[in-house]
């Protein structure tokens, strides 16, 4: 019995060693990939000269024929001002994409720089020319005067899969050629105020100074540009975001050609379709981009897109989440007509849209004011809109403003005081009498959609009576 137990222990130990060895052998080896690509990754530093002046008290005059008078004028100037020049430096990373000296990095790395310097792995430091940069995608294209430079191999982010191994090379905190590795955590992430970039999320350790550096796959191809981290401490916390290389290359080609980026514009405000909203629209499952607002005079309005439409495909690309639509529209060729597939009144329909150039400001946001009150059966009280409020919100005919919300359907749906209710179950609300009529017609136990305007932002909510 004892010998059998010993034999069991020995066999189990050997099996454990074999399994551990096999598991270790299955882990990726980054050494050859790093050796091959690190020479094409550079450190980027910038200088910014800020002129500051301190003004002496008004009416102050330098004393004549006194000791140090000339010295005071030299430092303080004839106008009683002190010229100061402050030089600041920022550090980031970048990578060479052509042998004749073109490089990619982040816009925020070189923003407001007076001078840009690129330090290569062979310790050469070259002054770089800014060809162009794009704040919306956080991409910048630089050029140094050199030839026969080492270059990275460019891949495609479209073939990336969640769970795939990736690694980064950069200069976190100024430490050149630092290598970190991890996996792809998610694709197509939409970050606040970054609607035109479907970010790659990874758990690769990225810190200040990594910005602008390349993200590689196991084939040694660049699949992204490391751009942002989510952090409460200022350092790495497991969430890193990279710009897909396909997006970056599209931007860099336009910057190289014209110095600026041209984006398509549809002219809609959109939101995700929740499970409850999907039920209210009689959809099998939540998907697509729900149109909460159509901007007057926009390509969407001209094409016949309406509030309440659900955009499920754009130029043949399926829209699963609303965040998928802006990058597709932004990268579309505005000289070609686009096909937009929508669901309206439970039926699929394809519209043809002629996109336009994305304007700087799509719509001004207005604030809400209040007047004349009535109660509804939804647990809230509402008021008619004044002419002034309609003008501020650019609302011509419809809508009532929520004055207060008690317990009931409105509260559960997320309606707040100050919201302007524009639609109930697809019907525009004319006034307080009309909303009371519509509320009484809602069937019990069934979700219906409500379109509100919250501080200038259109939002669909799902309400069940």
Structure token pair of residue 91: 């550090």
Same domain, 223 and 249: yes
Integer CA distances (angstroms), 87 to 43, 105, 175, in order: 19, 22, 22
Give the C-alpha separation, 113 to 3, whole Å: 76
Q: Are residues 230 and 163 in the same domain?
A: yes
Among the listed residues 153, 240, 249, the one whose alpha carbon sits nearest the alpha carbon of residue 199: 240
Are the C-beta atoms of 399 and 435 separated by less than 8 Å? no
Q: Encode pLDDT of 246-261 as tens digits.
A: 999 999 999 998 888 8
- Residue 303 lies inside a defined structural domain of this protein: yes
Q: Are residues 239 and 330 in the same domain?
A: no
- Kindly state whether residues 352 and 294 are assigned to the same domain: yes
- Measured between alpha carbons, how far apart are the two ends of the chain, in Å? 72
Q: Report the distance separating Cα 167 and Cα 180, nearest Å.
A: 6
- Indicate whether 238 and 272 sit together in one domain: no
Domain presence at residue 311: yes
Whether residue 206 is found in the same domain as residue 271: no
Query: Given a cut of 60, is residue 204 above it in pLDDT?
Result: yes
Buried b (16+ CB within 10 A) or exposed e, 352-367: ebebbebeeeebeebe
Gyration radius of the chain over CA positions? 30
DSSP string, 221-271: EEEEEEEEE--SSSS--S-EEEEEHHHHHHHHHHHHHHSS---EE--EEEE
Residue 3 lies in a domain: no
- Do the beta carbons of residue 449 and residue 277 sit within 8 Å? yes
Annotated catalytic residue, options 38, 108, 404, 411: 108
Kindly state whether residues 253 and 284 are assigned to the same domain: no
Q: Write out the H or E segment, with its range, that includes residue 211.
A: none
Query: Confidence band (pLDDT; 50, 70, 90) for 417?
Result: confident
Number of compact structural domains in the chain = 3
Q: Are residues 279 and 195 in the same domain?
A: no
* Beta pairing, strands 221-229 & 153-154: parallel
* Cα 10 to Cα 22, 24, 415, distances in angstroms: 18, 21, 67
Nearest CA among 120, 178, 179, 170 for reference residue 149:
120
Q: What is the pLDDT of residue 372?
A: 45
Which residue, 258, 274, 306, sits at the end of a domain? 258
Residue 430 has pLDDT above 50, yes or no: yes
Query: 264 near 300, Cβ under 8 Å?
Result: no
Which of 322, 357, 392 finishes a domain? 357
CATH code of the domain in which 280 resides:
2.30.42.10
Domain boundary among 240, 258, 276: 258
Comparing 407 with 332, which gets the higher pLDDT?
332
Domain that holds residue 389: 373-464
Which residues make Cβ contacts (< 8 Å) with residue 427, sequence separation at least 6? Answer: 438
- Give the active site residue among 90, 211, 280, 322: 211
Note whether 158 and 254 are same-domain residues.
Answer: yes
Set 90, 134, 138, 171: catalytic member: 138
Identify whether the C-beta of residue 461 lies closer than 8 Å to the C-beta of residue 452: yes
Q: Tell which residue, 18, 86, 21, has the closest CA to residue 53.
A: 86
**138 labelled catalytic:** yes
Please report, for the domain that includes residue 251, its CATH number.
2.40.10.10
pLDDT of residue 162: 96
pLDDT given for residue 63 in this prediction: 55
Residue 211 designated active-site = yes
CA-based nearest residue to 448, from 431, 430, 429, 465: 465
CA distance 448 to 440: 13
Under DSSP, the state recorded for 99 is T
pLDDT score recorded for residue 54:
46
Asked if the structure places residue 335 within a domain, the reply is: yes
Q: Please check whether residue 134 is in contact with residue 251, taking contact to mean a CB–CB distance below 8 angstroms.
A: yes
Q: Give domain status of residue 164, yes or no.
A: yes
Give the tens place of pLDDT for each residue, 129-185. Answer: 999 999 989 999 999 999 999 999 999 998 999 999 999 999 998 888 899 999 999
Q: How confident is the model at residue 392 (pLDDT cuts 50, 70, 90)?
A: confident
77 inside domain: no
17 inside domain: no
The answer on 227 and 178 residing in a single domain is: yes
Active-site annotation holds for 39: no
Cβ–Cβ contacts within 10 Å for residue 158, how many?
Answer: 10
- Separation between Cα atoms, residue 381 and residue 370, nearest integer Å: 12
Same domain for 345 and 404, yes or no, is: no
Q: In the chain, pLDDT over 90 holds for what percent of residues?
A: 43
Outline where 170-220 has alpha helix (H).
none
Q: Each residue of 291-335: pLDDT tens digit? A: 988 888 889 999 999 999 999 999 999 999 888 899 899 888 888
How far apart CA 138 and CA 337 sit, in angstroms, is: 27
37, part of any domain: no
The count of other CB atoms within 10 Å of the CB of residue 73 is: 12
């Amino acid at each position: 019995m004892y010998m059998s137990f010993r034999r069991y222990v020995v066999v189990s130990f050997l099996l454990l060693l074999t399994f551990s060895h096999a598991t270790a052998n299955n882990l990726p080896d980054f050494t050859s990939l790093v050796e091959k690509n690190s020479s094409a990754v550079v450190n980027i530093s910038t200088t910014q000269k800020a002129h500051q002046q301190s003004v002496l008290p008004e009416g102050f005059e330098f004393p004549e024929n006194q000791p140090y008078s000339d010295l005071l004028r030299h430092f303080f100037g004839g106008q009683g001002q002190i010229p100061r020049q402050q030089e600041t430096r920022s550090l980031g990373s970048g990578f060479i994409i052509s042998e004749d000296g073109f490089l990619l990095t982040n816009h925020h790395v070189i923003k407001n720089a007076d001078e840009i310097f690129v330090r290569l792995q062979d310790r050469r430091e070259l002054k770089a020319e800014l060809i162009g940069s794009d704040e919306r995608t956080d991409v910048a294209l630089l050029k140094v005067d050199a030839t026969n430079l080492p270059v990275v191999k460019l891949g495609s982010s479209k073939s990336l899969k969640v769970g795939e191994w990736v690694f980064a090379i950069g200069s976190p905190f100024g430490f050149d050629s630092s290598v970190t590795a991890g996996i792809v955590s998610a694709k197509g992430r939409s970050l606040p105020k970054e609607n035109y970039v479907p970010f790659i999320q990874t758990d690769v350790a990225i810190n200040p100074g990594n910005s602008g550096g390349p993200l590689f796959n196991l084939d040694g191809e660049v699949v992204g540009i490391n751009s942002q981290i989510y952090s409460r401490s200022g350092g790495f916390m497991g969430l890193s975001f990279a710009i897909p290389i396909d997006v970056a290359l599209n931007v860099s080609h336009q910057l190289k050609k014209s110095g600026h980026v041209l984006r398509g514009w549809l002219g809609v405000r959109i939101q995700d379709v929740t499970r409850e909203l999907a039920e209210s629209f009689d959809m099998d499952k939540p998907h697509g981009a729900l149109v909460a607002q159509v901007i007057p005079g926009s390509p969407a309005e001209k094409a016949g897109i309406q509030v309440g439409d659900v955009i499920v495909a754009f130029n043949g690309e399926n829209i699963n989440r609303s965040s998928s639509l802006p990058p597709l529209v932004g990268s579309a060729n505005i000289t070609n007509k686009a096909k937009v597939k929508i669901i309206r009144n439970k039926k699929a329909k394809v519209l043809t849209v002629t996109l336009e150039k994305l304007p700087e400001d799509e719509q001004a946001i207005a604030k809400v004011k209040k007047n004349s009150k009535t109660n509804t059966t939804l647990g809230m009280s509402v008021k008619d809109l004044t002419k002034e409020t309609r003008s501020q919100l650019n609302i011509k005919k419809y809508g009532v403003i929520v004055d207060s919300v008690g317990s009931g359907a409105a509260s559960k749906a997320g309606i707040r005081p100050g919201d302007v209710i524009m639609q109930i179950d697809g019907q525009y609300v004319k006034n307080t009498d009309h909303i009371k009529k519509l509320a009484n017609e809602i069937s019990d136990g069934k979700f219906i959609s409500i379109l509100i305007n919250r501080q200038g932002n259109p939002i669909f909510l799902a309400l069940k009576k």
